[in-house]
Amino acid sequence: MKFDFPLSDMPRPRLPEPLKAVMRKFSAPRDAAPLAFLPEMEADSETLIDRIKIPVNTSSLGLKGDNEVRENAQFLARQDRWDCLSERIRMADRTRDVTVKGTPIVDLMLFGARADVVSAAEHALLHGKPAKDSNFFDGIEDFELVLTEYPDDYAVALVVAHMHIDIGWAWRGTVPVADLKDANREAFLAHFARAEEILDQFCPHELNSAALSAARCALLPGSEHPGDRVADDFEDLIDLDPDNPRHMRALGTYMLPQWYGDHANLDLQARRTAARTYDLWGAGAYAWVWFDALLIDPTGLAHIDTDYFIDGIHDILDRHTDQATANLVAAQLYCAWQAARQHYRETGTGTEQQAALRAAFEDVVHNALREVHPLIWGHAELGFDNGVRSVSMDRLAQKGRDFAMNAVAQPFMKNLEAGLTIHFGPDGITEIQP
């Protein structure tokens, strides 16, 4: 960050005392969780799958556009061009523009703008000391100083608030609550409290800002009683940005028992969301709310309305006919079907649900899927909302491709065993005799 005057000549912003206390006590790294690791997949000796001929689209591996948005915001922040950065953030927020993967452009910009400070903080907390020639405390105070210069600019406030949320999570890590050190917990809560203080000055609905509403949802883990707020906060967000299913998917995750809800309330919120967005999604919102939750916690299979869920899947595909959506839905249905099979093996119940999920998966393969997107399947196998960061995208894509090809072969197994080759093309599927 570059200023035209020495920072030492400016009065430093007055940070809340709990946050200053946390910064003074900085002396040890955060509790680091073990890095995620994917074991090597054994080579598939089956030759049947080799006779599934379906295009594999690896373009999703390319994040050039995403990187350009992030890097542009990072450049503007480094050059202290906050007026320009704020205007672009507010424009992206107003238009609700998203990437081809559905990521809001405004999220990428906010991430790029805070990246330097957050990266310095994560390095310091991981290694127990700041990187060479780096003092992340100064970075935090520099951002707070910018906030005092733009007190009425909600875009700047979003950058600084998200900085605190990210650094709070860096202190928190992913260790179980019982194993979390007091210093780490205090730092986590102090940064979240500061982020909430910043955001409380702005009303998402008055500003028609989905980004502000999303930021308030991101504060839930630092709230004293998040279960009292989660449904209302996400209802506000979804009402502001109903086109983006990511908000509905996040709601379902937060409503799981391991977060802030239970299966009964999750299903209730899925139904309420579907009713509010029926004109836009049909029954699709019911499926979106259960979408990730069902893979994270397969015990939800005992609580979901399978017929309503499958109706929602069909409504999603009717409204979004692109192959990314077809892959996303196919991967989810396949994983849900496998979870139902496992449930049947363990309990001997659920045959109708298992059959319905299998039929829905096969229907998507036959009528919608025309190419494989490996990364989508790689993430689906791990539960979508999995936080995999230590595995390269190439490796995850390779595992996803293997997983997808095995799944896509299932509806055609009898014909494959009979020696047929299955060709997927833009106009449909052709089964060819040897």
Query: What b/e string do you get for 201-233 counting C-beta neighbours within 10 Å, with b at 16 or more?
Result: ebebeebebbbbbbbbbbbbbbbeebeebbbeb
- Is residue 158 located within the same domain as residue 237? no
Q: Are 199 and 161 in contact (CB under 8 A)?
A: yes
- Token code pair at residue 293: 């939750």
pLDDT tens digit string along 345-357? 988 888 999 999 9
Q: What are phi and psi of 56, to 5 degrees?
A: -110, 115
Q: What is residue 381's predicted lDDT score, i.e. its pLDDT?
A: 84
What integer pLDDT is reported at residue 130 of this predicted model? 52
Indicate whether 5 and 127 sit together in one domain: yes
On whether residue 35 sits in a domain, the answer given is no
Give yes or no: residues 81 and 167 share one domain.
yes
Residues 298, 186 within the same domain: no
Shared domain check, 350 and 239: no
**pTM score:** 0.86
pLDDT tops 60 at residue 46? no
- Dihedral sign, CA of 266, 271, 276, 281? positive
Q: Is residue 44 part of a domain?
A: no
In a shared domain, residues 3 and 123: yes
pLDDT band at 61 (very low <50, low <70, confident <90, very high): low
Confidence of residue 180 (pLDDT cuts 50, 70, 90): confident
**CA 148 to the chain's CA centroid:** 31
Kindly tell me if the per-residue pLDDT of 23 is higher than 70. Answer: no
Q: What is the pLDDT of residue 63?
A: 64
Which of 224, 257, 284 marks a domain boundary?
Answer: 224
Span 236-264, mean pLDDT? Answer: 96
Mean pLDDT of 269-298: 97
Residue 193 falls inside a structural domain? yes
The pLDDT > 90 percentage for the chain reads 69
Rounded Cα gap, residues 333 and 313, in angstroms:
9
Q: Which of 200, 192, 191, 139 is nearest to 21 (CA)?
A: 191
The whole-number pLDDT of residue 35 equals 30
**Residue 24 confidence (pLDDT):** 58
Residue 73: Cβ-neighbour burial (10 angstroms; 0-12, 13-18, 19+)? buried
pLDDT band for position 42 (50/70/90)? very low
Same domain, 175 and 284: no
Do both 188 and 244 map to the same domain?
no
The closest alpha carbon to 82, from 177, 129, 150, 30, belongs to 150
Position 139 scores a pLDDT of: 85
In angstroms, the CA 390 to CA 202 distance is: 36
Q: Which of 224, 250, 269 is the last residue of a domain?
A: 224
pLDDT-derived band at 55, boundaries 50, 70, 90: very high
227: left (phi over 0), alpha (psi -120 to 50) or beta: alpha
Q: Is the pLDDT of residue 390 over 60?
A: no
Closest by CA position to 285, among listed 308, 255, 262? 308
| Pairing verdict, β 421-425 and 428-432 | antiparallel
Q: Which of 167, 164, 147 is nearest to 86 (CA)?
A: 147
50 occurs within a structural domain: no
The confidence score (pLDDT) of residue 249 equals 96
Q: Look at residue 11 and tell me if it is in a domain.
A: yes
Least confident stretch, 37-46, 130-139, 259-268, 373-382 = 37-46
* Residue 39 forms part of a structural domain: no
Residue 279 and residue 185 share a domain: no
Q: What is the pLDDT of residue 45?
A: 33
Long-range CB contacts (< 8 A, 24+ apart) of 193-196?
A: 193/16, 193/18, 193/19, 193/222, 194/15, 194/16, 194/19, 194/164, 195/161, 195/162, 195/164, 195/165, 195/168, 195/219, 195/222, 196/161, 196/222
Q: Which of 12-16, 227-231, 377-381, 406-410 is the least confident region? A: 12-16
**Cα(231)–Cα(403) distance, integer angstroms:** 34
> Which among 307, 338, 356 is the end of a domain?
307
Q: Are residues 376 and 296 both part of a single domain?
A: no
Please count the structural domains in the chain: 3
Residue 121 is assigned to a structural domain of this protein: yes
Residues 179 and 69 grouped into a single domain: yes
Range of the domain at 394: 320-434
Tell me whether residue 92 is in a domain.
Answer: yes
Same domain for 185 and 65: yes
* Strand, helix or coil for residue 52: strand
Looking at residue 29, what is its pLDDT? 41
Give me the pLDDT at residue 133, please.
53
Predicted pLDDT at 66: 86
CB environment 19-43: b (16+ within 10 A), e (fewer): beebbeebeebbbeeeeeebeeeee
Number of Cβ atoms within 10 Å of the Cβ of 394: 12
pLDDT digits (tens, 9 = 90+) for 85-138: 999 999 999 999 998 778 899 999 999 999 999 988 888 777 655 555 555 678
SS3 (DSSP) at 158: helix
Is pLDDT above 90 for 291?
Answer: yes
Q: Which of 288, 289, 219 is nearest to 255 (CA)?
A: 289
